[in-house]
Structure 1
Amino acid sequence: MNYADIKRIDVANGPGVRVSLFVSGCTHHCKGCFNEEAWDFQYGKPFTETEIGLIIEYLNKDYIKGLTILGGEPFEYANQKGILPLLRRVRKELPEKSIWCFSGYLFDQQILGEMYEKWEETREMISYLDVIVDGKFEEERKNLGVRFRGSDNQRIILVQESIEQGEVVLWDEA
């Protein structure tokens, strides 16, 4: 897997101060995408143990609330395989940090409804996530008034609660 960027300090992609990993590779190609260069799976640099170590180091500060993974598309199968070693380490070494993930795939339909059954990597990845922001960016629904999203069709979903309850549970920012 390649990555486009690692932001040590990010306040735009989840609550609090976060570390963000932007993966490369996306097949959605949303019109008006803010990160079009990251559609290319070869864009950026290889994501290795060195980058995982850096992210762990960046996360290991009291003022850092958590990790956000976005892209590109983290739920592209090739990216799931690349992200899992990072998620394993974060959960083992820094279990108090929240993990958010942005995906153009719909959580209940495509991630749980298709990928979850097809790939063990999806099941494991989901087990580490606290929140998924799902849905493709829709330029005609772009809304600067919605927090942590680009368009108002996107949902902020509590992953573990949704799995436990068998239905989508939305994050309440209050």
Structure 2
Amino acid sequence: MYIADYKRFDVINGRGLRHSIFTSGCTHHCKGCFNAATWNFNYGRPYTEELEEQIIGDLNMPDVHIAGLSILGGEPFQNVDGLLRLVSRVQSECSGKDIWVWSGYTFEEIVAEENKRELLTYCDVLVDGKFVLEQRNLKLKWRGSDNQRVIDVRESLRSGQAVLLPL
């Protein structure tokens, strides 16, 4: 797995002060994508154990309240194998931190595939759906087009249907 970027102290991608990782590789190729360079699966730098240790350490900074980790892309659900260990560690080693993930897949598409569903079970919030340029809306919180949803993953998995996160 390659990483396009890792941003510490991000206030744009989710609630609160967060750290964000941008995976490389995406086959959705949404027209107007803000991050088209990440379509290439070899863009950026290889994901390493050292970077993973840095992320875990950064999430556990003692004097700064970090709300959690945001995972964007590219397409995180096309990098499931590379992300499973990280999200598992965040859940077990980073008390009180949430995980937000952005995907061009819908909640329904993700839960229909076992490996994608496994990654989703570690996440708290899913922003789903492809970016649709014709539905772009710059007034939306945490998403770029009207078709995209901000989903409470835990409630959605419990109920078996997408439950929107109160904004």
TM-score bracket for the superposition, by shorter chain length: over 0.9
Q: Give distance in 1, aligned partners of 2:68 and 2:52.
A: 14
Which position in structure 2 is the counterpart of 1:102? 102
Structure 1 residue ranges (4+ consecutive) displaced by more than 2 angstroms after TM superposition: none
Shift of the alpha carbon at 1:123?
3.4
Structure 1 regions of 5+ residues with no counterpart? none
Task: Say whether 1:45 aligns with 2:60.
Answer: no
The alpha-carbon deviation at position 163 of structure 1 amounts to 1.0
Per the TM alignment, residue 149 of structure 1 is displaced from its structure 2 partner at its CA by 0.4
Picking from 54, 69, 72, the partner of 2:71 is 69
TM superposition shift of 1:63 = 1.7
| TM-score (normalised: structure 2) | 0.95
Structure 2 Cα separation of the partners of residues 155 and 17 of structure 1:
21
Is 1:128 the equivalent of 2:122?
A: yes
Q: Deviation of residue 124 (structure 1)?
A: 2.6
Normalising by structure 1, what TM-score? Answer: 0.92
Unaligned runs of 5+ in 2: none
Superposed CA deviations along residues 79-100 of structure 1, whole A, max 9, x for unmatched, are: 1000111111111111310100
Post-superposition CA distance 1:109-144 (Å, at most 9, x none)? x1112x23xx3xx23312210010000011111111
Amino acid at match of 1:66: G
Secondary structure at the aligned position of 2:84 is classed as helix
Between stretches 39-48 and 87-96, larger displacement belongs to 87-96
Opposite residue 10 of structure 2, the aligned amino acid is D
- Structure 2 counterpart of 1:16, which letter? G
> Which structure 2 residues correspond to residues 83-98 of structure 1 after superposition, within 5 A?
83-98=83-98
The number of residues matched between the two structures is 165
Identity of aligned residues (%): 53
2:156 alignment partner in structure 1? 162
AA aligned to 1:107 is F
Q: Tell me, what secondary structure is at the counterpart of 2:31?
A: coil
The reply on whether 1:147 has 2:146 as its aligned counterpart is no
* CA distance in 1 between partners of 2:160 and 2:31 (Å): 32
Q: What does residue 166 of structure 2 align with?
A: 172
For the Cα contact (< 8 Å) 2:110–2:117, is it kept in 1?
Answer: no
Tell me the secondary structure at the aligned position of residue 156 of structure 1. Answer: strand
**1:35 corresponding residue in structure 2:** 35
